[in-house]
Amino acid sequence: MSRSDSPQFPVTVTRLPVTRCEICGRTVAYRPGQASTVLTEHYTKMHPDAIADAEPEPSP
C-alpha cells in the first residue's frame, strides 16, 4: 500500500452537548444555548404532525 504525499491537516474535534427527541429517541447535538432551536428544527422536519397537534387553536 502506498503512502500519499499530501500534507496532513490538523483536525479539531468539538464535543457538543446532546439531547434526545422524546418521540423517536434520536440523539440531537446542539451548540450551547441552541437546544430549543435545534429541537424545533428536528421536530419540524421529522415530526410535523406532532407540532400541528401541539399548536393552539385560533380564537374566533
Q: Is it the case that residue 6 has pLDDT exceeding 80?
A: no
Grid cell digits, residue 28: 440531537
Does residue 17 sit within a domain? no
Does residue 14 sit within a domain? no
Structure letter (DSSP) for residue 54: H
pLDDT in tens, 22-60: 999 999 999 999 999 999 999 999 999 988 777 676 666
Of 5-9, 11-15, 23-27, 42-46, give the lowest mean pLDDT range. Answer: 5-9
Count of structural domains, the chain: 1
Q: 18 pLDDT band (50/70/90 cuts)?
A: very high
Residue with cell 500500500: 1
Does residue 22 sit within a domain? no
The CA-based diameter of the chain, rounded to the nearest angstrom, is 73
Domain range holding 42? 27-54
